[in-house]
Amino acid sequence: MTCRSPPGIDPRVGFFQSLACLLRWIMSLPRCLLIEDFSVKTIPTILFTTSLFFFVGAAVPAAHSSKNAIDTVRQKFDAFNRHNTAMIQAIYARDAILHSPDYPSLQGNEPIADTYPKLFEAIPDAKDNLVLLETSVTHVYAQFVLTGHWKGEEDKPLSIRITSVYAVKGGHIVDDSTYYDRKAPCR
């Protein structure tokens, strides 16, 4: 017996469909498997337990917020690869903080966004190539490789491995801790 929510429907809506499916399955069991007072004691216990899990799960929508956080970080990488500094500024929260080897503690989405035109001028074909994007309860972790050519010259290629840890709230990056070796040889 298959009982699933239709694609695109919040899984919590499917809870009641799943519960109804479970009850139909229990009632379809052969009578010899059912204890006489099964429906009197067991069904309320099943209802209570599944309701408890449903409401506790609904109170902590971690998977949904993690997906939104990853989407926000993906938008940041997309904006970077299109050299869209206005979009980068909009993705960072107004009071966001950037920590990096070049900017130990830069605060505000406008000062953060102002660092990108300088980078795009130095590396006109700059592109971030995502290697890994993962999330935890509170952060998004990105490993990527910045590629391009210094001053656009073909004989000066760059390939810099970078790791960033982002905190995202309300669809905006509020904290960006980025790590890279400033003295790494460019290849």
DSSP letter for each residue of 20-88: HHHHHHHHHS-GGGS-TTHHHHHHHHHHHHHHHHHHHHHH--HHHHHHHHHHHHHHHHHHHHTT-HHHH
Kindly state the tokens that stand for 3: 């009982």
Residue 68 neighbours by CB under 8 Å, 6+ apart: 168, 171
Which pTM does this prediction carry? 0.65
If one counts every other C-beta atom within 10 angstroms of the C-beta of residue 23, the result is 14
pLDDT in tens, 101-117: 999 899 999 999 999 99
CA distance 182 to 122: 15
pLDDT of residue 183: 72
Does residue 135 contact residue 115 with C-beta atoms inside 8 Å?
Answer: no
pLDDT in tens, 74-83: 999 999 999 9
CATH of 63-179, one of 1.10.3190.10, 1.10.1840.10, 3.40.309.10, 3.10.450.50: 3.10.450.50
Residue 66 neighbours by CB under 8 Å, 6+ apart: 135, 137
Q: Which helix (H) or strand (E) holds 127?
A: strand 127-135
pLDDT range class, residue 2, cuts 50, 70, 90? very low
pLDDT in tens, 15-59: 555 555 555 656 665 655 445 554 555 555 555 555 544 444 444
Per-residue pLDDT at 126 exceeds 70: yes
CA distance 181 to 161: 8
Closest CA to 98 of 84, 85, 111: 111
pLDDT of residue 168: 97
* Average of per-residue pLDDT across 73-93: 98
Does residue 49 contact residue 18 with C-beta atoms inside 8 Å?
Answer: no
If one counts every other C-beta atom within 10 angstroms of the C-beta of residue 97, the result is 18
Closest CA to 96 of 162, 178, 160: 178
